[in-house]
Amino acid sequence: MMLAIPDVLSAEQVRQCREALERATWHDGRHTAGHMAIHVKANLQLAQDDPLATQLGEFILERLSATPRFLAAALPLKVLPPRFNCYTGGGAYGNHTDNAIFTLPGTSLRIRSDLSATLFFCDPDAYDGGELVIEDTYGSQRVKLPAGHMALYPSTSLHQVTPVTRGARLAAFFWIQSLVREDHQRAMLLELDDAIQSLATDVPENPALARLTGVYHNLLRHWADT
């Protein structure tokens, strides 16, 4: 399930983040690539210990905790601190699958990557190329979202970023370990949650609401991996 989550950041928050990133010190992104990905990765990244990366990452985590759509779709258990990249001058990232396990920086804690996320800081007309192309069971999905919007998709997906031939594509990217490991189960829970929310708006006194809510929580209880 690929999901676009709108308005994680406001226009003013995007502007502030982008201005800070435009003044940042960038490094060759291949330094963080695995032995396979290094051959297809050509971008720039902030160092993980850069104070700006820490500051912006903490801010994004705060915003995610206040974004109901993200919470409903991801059912997050652990979120790896966001990282930041820049694609420009033909920069691209060929087809790859994200690592299955990440270590939380500065700790021995490990995070299983169930979901990958890309938060865009630049509007689509600010650069040419730079599409996030995700392969799923229904074929390729090409994603290029407005600034402040976020793409959320299974980390098991084969995906790439196409070459940026004009301008610069700035984004945050990170991984989530969900309470529910399987993508199809998360998708069913989200669909059920959406139906409950719609019913609660249209007919709030309907007695079926309590029963459906019970089904949702019982499924979550059955599938949750804590």
Report all structural domains of the chain as residue ranges with CATH numbers, in order of start.
Answer: 3-178 (2.60.120.620), 183-223 (4.10.860)
**pLDDT at residue 29, rounded to an integer:** 82
Section 53-73 average pLDDT: 98
Which pTM does this prediction carry? Answer: 0.94
Pairing of strands 27-28, 44-45: antiparallel
Section 88-96 average pLDDT: 96
Handedness of CA 181, 187, 191, 197 (dihedral sign): positive
Q: How many CB atoms lie within 10 A of CB 133?
A: 16
High-pLDDT (> 70) share of the chain, %: 97
Determine if residue 96 is labeled as part of a ligand binding site: yes
pLDDT single digits (tens) 60-69: 999 999 999 9
Range in 81-85, 103-107, 126-130, 180-184 the model is least confident about: 103-107
Determine if residue 169 is labeled as part of a ligand binding site: yes
Determine if residue 159 is labeled as part of a ligand binding site: yes
